[in-house]
Amino acid sequence: MSKCFVERFELAGAAEGPLAGLSFAAKDLFDVAGRVTGAGNPDWAASHPPAEANAAAIQRLLDAGARLVGKTITDEISLGLLGINAFDGTPLNPRAPDRVPGGSSSGSASAVAQGLCDAALGTDTGGSVRVPSSFCGLFGMRPTHGRVPTAGMLPQAPGSDTAGWFAREGEVFARVGAVLIDEAPAAPPASLTVAADAFAFAGPGVAEALAPALARLEAMTAPGREDLLAPPGFATWAKAQRTLQLAEAWATFGPWVEAQVPRFSYLVARTLMAGAATPAADLPPARLVRDEARGRLAHLTRGGGCIALPATPDPAPPRDLPLAEMDRARDRINAICALGGLTGHPVLVLPAGEVEGAPVGLAVIGARGADASLLALARDWETA
Amino acid sequence: MSKCFVERFELAGAAEGPLAGLSFAAKDLFDVAGRVTGAGNPDWAASHPPAEANAAAIQRLLDAGARLVGKTITDEISLGLLGINAFDGTPLNPRAPDRVPGGSSSGSASAVAQGLCDAALGTDTGGSVRVPSSFCGLFGMRPTHGRVPTAGMLPQAPGSDTAGWFAREGEVFARVGAVLIDEAPAAPPASLTVAADAFAFAGPGVAEALAPALARLEAMTAPGREDLLAPPGFATWAKAQRTLQLAEAWATFGPWVEAQVPRFSYLVARTLMAGAATPAADLPPARLVRDEARGRLAHLTRGGGCIALPATPDPAPPRDLPLAEMDRARDRINAICALGGLTGHPVLVLPAGEVEGAPVGLAVIGARGADASLLALARDWETA
């Protein structure tokens, strides 16, 4: 039940640096020189050679003195939000052992939450850092799109892909983040919008569970002003993102799928096929919705403001769900996570409350490029 | 490369009987008491208990004195015609080692063709006995639908499923078949239609390669009369069968897929999804096409006549094809094999010719219920 690594090893970092003494793990989508990047699928691993160099994000952490302790389980080729992998197993969610850990960066979140390392790298295209952060009670962040270099990281949908990270402690989280974004924590956001529609969309008890954390966030930023985050509806945004992301994912993986005819969980195969079947005529309207979403978030975060919302609409669902319930859980998560990949804004997840004994995080969306202001929130979160 | 069994064991038959001294294998879709029927998929095997009793077809052979020597590889849950299984491996085609063996009864055909047993049981819904018979140069038969009991055989599309068998030698084939259909070989068919459209559809060299076998068949039956087998086109028949068969397959497997969310080859997942996505409105017109196809075959086989056509339009394609070429190969096979499941008529495959050094069989469609007349052809094929 403590499974989270696909491979454990030790790769020392620089002798000195801001991260000296810290250990980290990396999702098995990041290249480590001399090792095969397995991507959570046995046929991917079998059809690719060992990496020639370390991924840029890994190298940054090593150069800053952190030590790499292994590669972690991921949903197959990063397609999944629940953290279920039928080949490698579903990692433990130590905060709620009968529930999924969230994904696709499932093993990274699990390893950090279990205390097996101080921090971990994940990827976030549609929610793959934010969801396991929320479900496992961790700090996690999806940086501004393009902010942290993705060289040596397996792409899924390059227009939305980001390299993110997890930690249990805010100070460690901010220190690792400062290395990854190459900027020290800055002043916290100057204003706060509370996403009334997102809190209303969340499941029973979530808004109440997050209320103390929201009050703390207000104390660190400014009194919250309630507003609609997504006037056309989260379903509209999520549909646009799903259209664009899965079409890109098929462009990424289709040639490999068509050449190798690999094995997948039925769930993953179905997701890929949805991408393969995207009508070209669906893309232009989805791009218009994306333009409007980007405009809306730029408006709400103007002047360095931030937006608070539940990181996930519900706590983690149980392990071993039937397909229809997996679909339902994923659709609800997508509804309020799709905006990350759609707009490219940075999103921080703060450990916040519990519902039925399972964690739910508070998400804070920052202005594009204002990643350093979000780091400040994490750094001071436990002491504010 | 000699892989074909998933499990080898010895189960003795009756001490005396018409099959005493013969060995046989069974596709891992047939129940053997006390063993899990694996169906070619690890998640099927893991989610089902051992069988309580032997499948009816196995019991018939045991009771007649044959001895069971193992269970053979199958395409996952019988969905496939090429004999490719990404979990268990693709069995050897000993007659053309760089080509696929054909499926889904791949391991049964391979075991017989390798001489590892005298006969083997397979299943044929859309071509799963006929295709590997053709590709491996064996005698094989899909009996009249409902003729050989399918109790204890994993269903796929019950409206088309049959239990069939393979052998290398015509006399053995007929002897095993007589036990399975519970009827001795009868007089051979009294008339012969040569399916001009099927021979025209076959790939380069196939008609020429089958000409000597066709002449032998004429000598055993009657001078052939050329006619169209499928006036509306094989594509029309195959499309109707694919619609009906995959909708039934989803009805069979969908509840398990939705509960277990198993792993599959992408190819198999895609086939299942096609079944799941069948519009209900597509079924009635497909049933009308089926009615017409049944009428056409009843007409051509009236009075106990038979119809000759290539068992497959081409010899076996190479192993390790990319997806698009697998699709193309399967579509061509379906074109002239779909009529078996669509009409329920018995179809015998006789080892016949070679194209580019790889076998292609000659198929003989009989009148419904006239299985015993086809057995006579097999029995006398090598000595006629």
Catalytic residue among B23, B27, B105, B373: B27
Quick one: tokens of B240? 């109707």
* Closest Cα in chain B, distance from residue A105 (Å): 20
Contact: A266, B267; criterion CB under 8 Å: no
- Cβ within 8 Å of residue A291, ≥6 positions away: none
* Residue A263 in contact with partner chain B when CB distance is under 8 A: yes
Quick one: tokens of B253? 């497997």
* Closest Cα in chain B, distance from residue A270 (Å): 7
Closest CA to B67 of B7, B10, B110: B10
A58: pLDDT strictly greater than 90: yes
- Name the residue among B263, B323, B324 with its Cβ closest to that of A263: B263
Instruction: Read off the pLDDT band of A330 (50, 70, 90).
Output: very high
Residue A2: predicted pLDDT: 75
- Cβ within 8 Å of residue B311, ≥6 positions away: B130, B131, B133, B134, B349, B352, B360, B361, B362, B363
Using a CB-CB cut-off of 8 Å, the residues of chain B touching A265 are 261-263
> Residue B329 belongs to what H/E stretch?
helix B323-343
Contact: A86, B267; criterion CB under 8 Å: no
Distance CA(B294)–CA(B237), nearest Å, equals 10
Size of interface A-B (CB pairs under 8 A): 66
pLDDT in tens, A227-277: 999 999 999 999 999 999 999 999 999 999 999 999 999 999 999 999 999
* Residue A270 in contact with partner chain B when CB distance is under 8 A: yes
> Residue A140 belongs to what H/E stretch?
strand A139-142
Contact: B87, A261; criterion CB under 8 Å: no
Specify whether the CB–CB gap between A342 and A126 falls below 8 A.
no
Contact: A266, B259; criterion CB under 8 Å: no
Mutate to test the interface with A, among B47, B263, B270, B327 (most CBs of A within 10 A): B263
Contact: B323, A258; criterion CB under 8 Å: yes
DSSP conformation class of A153? B
Q: Is A373 a catalytic residue?
A: no
Distance CA(B210)–CA(B355), nearest Å, equals 9
Using a CB-CB cut-off of 8 Å, the residues of chain B touching A323 are 257-259, 261
* Residue A256 in contact with partner chain B when CB distance is under 8 A: no
pLDDT in tens, B133-148: 999 999 999 999 999 9
Q: Between β-strands B306-310 and B358-365, what pairing exists: parallel, antiparallel or unpaired?
A: antiparallel
Helix axes B323-343, B234-260, angle to 10 degrees: 100
Distance CA(B92)–CA(B114), nearest Å, equals 8
* Residue B323 in contact with partner chain A when CB distance is under 8 A: yes
Q: How open is the CA angle A111-A117-A122, to the nearest 5 degrees? A: 60
What is the distance, to the nearest Å, from the Cα of residue A129 to the centroid of all Cα atoms in its chain? 2
A384: pLDDT strictly greater than 80: no
Q: Is A27 a catalytic residue?
A: yes
Using a CB-CB cut-off of 8 Å, the residues of chain A touching B269 are 264, 266, 269-270, 273
Contact: B258, A86; criterion CB under 8 Å: no
Mean pLDDT of the A40-45 span: 98
Contact: B273, A273; criterion CB under 8 Å: yes
Q: In the 3-class helix/strand/coil scheme, how is B136-179 assigned residue by residue? A: HCCEEEECCCCCCCCCCECCCCCCCCCEEEEECCHHHHHHHHHH
pLDDT in tens, A332-348: 999 999 999 999 999 99
Contact: B266, A263; criterion CB under 8 Å: yes
Mutate to test the interface with B, among A82, A253, A263 (most CBs of B within 10 A): A263
Which residues of chain B carry a pLDDT beneath 70? 1
Which amino acid type is present at position A345? H
Q: Say what the ipTM of the complex is.
A: 0.86
Q: Is it true that the peptide bond before B47 is cis, omega within 30 degrees of 0?
A: no
List domains and CATH numbers for chain B.
5-235+280-380 (3.90.1300.10)
pLDDT in tens, A292-316: 999 999 999 999 999 999 999 999 9
Contact: A266, B270; criterion CB under 8 Å: no
Residue B264: predicted pLDDT: 98
Chain B residue at shortest CA distance from A260: B322
Instruction: Read off the pLDDT band of A212 (50, 70, 90).
Output: very high
CA distances from B25 to A46, B67, B81, B124, B147 (A): 32, 9, 19, 16, 20
Specify whether the CB–CB gap between B78 and B45 falls below 8 A.
no
Residue B384: predicted pLDDT: 74
Using a CB-CB cut-off of 8 Å, the residues of chain A touching B263 are 86-87, 263-266
* Residue A77 in contact with partner chain B when CB distance is under 8 A: no
* Residue A87 in contact with partner chain B when CB distance is under 8 A: yes
Backbone angles phi, psi at A227, to 5 degrees: -160, 165
Instruction: Read off the pLDDT band of A1 (50, 70, 90).
Output: very low
Distance CA(B247)–CA(B271), nearest Å, equals 10
Q: Is B239 a catalytic residue?
A: no
Average pLDDT, chain A: 97
- Name the residue among A43, A259, A269 with its Cβ closest to that of B269: A269
Distance CA(B94)–CA(A31), nearest Å, equals 41
The pairs formed by B146-152 with CB atoms below 8 angstroms and a separation of 24 or more are B146/B344, B147/B181, B147/B346, B147/B369, B147/B371, B148/B57, B148/B180, B148/B181, B149/B56, B149/B57, B149/B60, B150/B56, B150/B57, B151/B55, B151/B56, B152/B30, B152/B31, B152/B51, B152/B53, B152/B54, B152/B55, B152/B56, B152/B57, B152/B58
Using a CB-CB cut-off of 8 Å, the residues of chain B touching A266 are 257, 261-264, 269, 272
